[in-house]
Copies of this chain bind each other. A is one copy, B any other.
Amino acid sequence: MLSFKVTHRDPETGARAAELATPHGTVRTPAFMPVGTAGTVKGIAGWELSKLAPEMILANTYHLLLRPGVETIERMGGLHGLMSWSGPILTDSGGYQVFSLAARRRLDDDGVLFHSHLDGSPHRLTPENVVETQSRYGVDVAMVLDECLPYPVEIGIAETSVARSVEWAVRGLDRAAGLRRDPGRWGGGLFAIQQGSLDEGLRRRCTDDLAGHDFDGFAVGGLAVGEPSEALHDAVAMAAPMLPDGRPRYLMGVGYPEDLVHSVACGVDLFDCVLPTRSARTGKVFTSTGELNIKNARFIDDFGPLDKGCDCPTCSGYSRAALRHLYVSREVTSVVLLTVHNLTFFLNLMRGAREAIMAGRYGRFRQRIDEIRNHRRRNLGP
């Protein structure tokens, strides 16, 4: 079981600093979770990840179920053994990936049948078995099975889908309760997922239906699925504050630095996104003065670090010119170096947010980040 305590509240915004105690340590929020889809943060050895010191990391039930499979993971000592990571781990339930990756999906009220995108083998996810799978992975936080709606979506379809997701969530919680009655079997928590597209009434109804149950946390799901940035920000401002104040709030799959900073002000505690890691593989770098692409020819003669204000080993050891050379030479090392930097940027951003909240000056912190974003937009276009 988890315990959660809000320790500081920003006087001007909904931002809060909190501590979420898990079997593998305490997660100090707001926190960004690096994504380790298939059992590793791409390019980053476990000992390197430990030095970056994220509060919690995320892995993917769907990918790991297909390969190497739950039994193998269990025998490795769980996901912690596979990933060589001793801190907290959250897994998503696999629902999102089934709807975005798997072939020949068949959905019914009892779950979803699909075929692996790797080898076509058939698999079935149910509200119960996703919880059981995650418990066998030994994760600190499991997510319920839900249906992630496309954007845009008709309201009628959304209503039916949300009702089903709520029912699945409650069934998942029953299964979790059963597992926890078996002493020593699983000490993790289960988060429910609020859905409802961009419809406030539907999000409210979904929240009301979920909040009566004893979930360990609540996520905002179904955002960052193609809607414009303004719509995302409005939706977070609408959806996040509805969620129970006394439980962690997790915004799934979001996002850009300015999205995180905005969402923290709306009371979100946890984030995950592939952006820092995936961007590193295309040469995109996040810095305290905006984003850049290391491929750009202007970096041939730029002998400064990626980000003067950054304390990561990439910025201590390598110039932009060296990093550009390694990137255009297609050296794997450049993936490692840019990933380490980008993750440091996201982790430090959330550390900075937390410190600002604790010091009662989150409004100023947010304003500074917004100024940088606006400056960048003026210079680079939208």
Residues of B contacting A38 in the complex (Cβ-Cβ under 8 angstroms): 325-326, 329, 331
Asked if B76 and A322 sit within 8 Å, CB to CB, the answer is yes
- Residue A190 is within 8 A (CB to CB) of chain B in the complex: no
Asked if residues B39 and A313 are in contact (CB atoms below 8 Å), the reply is: no
Most buried by B among A47, A67, A333: A333
Whole-angstrom CA separation of A72 from B41 in the bound complex: 32
A335 at the interface (CB under 8 A from B): yes
Partner of A76, one of B43, B303, B332: B303
Contacts of A325 in B (CB 8 A): 38-39, 67-68, 72, 82
Find A318's partner among B44, B68, B84 (CB 8 Å cutoff): B84
Which residues of B sit under 8 angstroms from A82, Cβ to Cβ?
A: 322, 325
How far apart are the CA atoms of A317 and B333 in the complex, in Å? 21
Quick one: which of A38-54 are within 8 Å of B by CB?
A: 38-48
Closest CB in chain B relative to A325 CB, distance in Å: 4
Q: Does A314 count as interface, using CB distance less than 8 angstroms? A: yes
- For A302-344 the 0/1 string (1 means CB < 8 A from B) is 0100000000011001110110111011011101110010000
- Give complex CA distance A48, B82 in Å: 21
Interface centre among A326, A329, A337 (most CB of B within 10 A): A329
Query: How many whole Å from A171's CB to the nearest CB in chain B?
Result: 30
Interface residue? A300 (CB, 8 A): yes
Contacting residue for A319 out of B76, B301, B313, B314, CB 8 A: B76
The CA-CA distance from A336 to B319 in the complex, in Å, is 22
A75 engages B39 (CB within 8 Å): no
A318 nearest CB neighbor, chain B only: B84
Chain B CB within 8 A of A81 CB? yes
Complex Cα distance, B227 from A291, in Å, reads 52
The answer to whether A336 touches B84, judged by C-beta atoms less than 8 angstroms apart, is no
Instruction: Give Cα distance in the complex from A2 to B234, angstroms.
Output: 67
For A45, the chain B residues whose CB sits under 8 A away are 313-314, 317, 333, 336-337, 340
In Å, the complex CA distance between A243 and B167 comes to 81
Is the beta-carbon distance between A68 and B314 smaller than 8 angstroms?
Answer: no
By a CB distance below 8 angstroms, the chain B residues around A326 are 38-40
In the docked arrangement, what's the CA distance between A303 and B74, Å? 11
Instruction: Supply 15 A–B pairs (Cβ within 8 Å), ascending by A.
Output: A38-B325, A38-B331, A39-B326, A44-B333, A45-B317, A45-B333, A67-B328, A68-B325, A72-B301, A75-B303, A76-B303, A76-B321, A76-B322, A82-B322, A332-B332
Closest 8 CB pairs of A and B: A84-B317, A40-B333, A68-B325, A43-B332, A47-B313, A38-B329, A82-B322, A46-B317
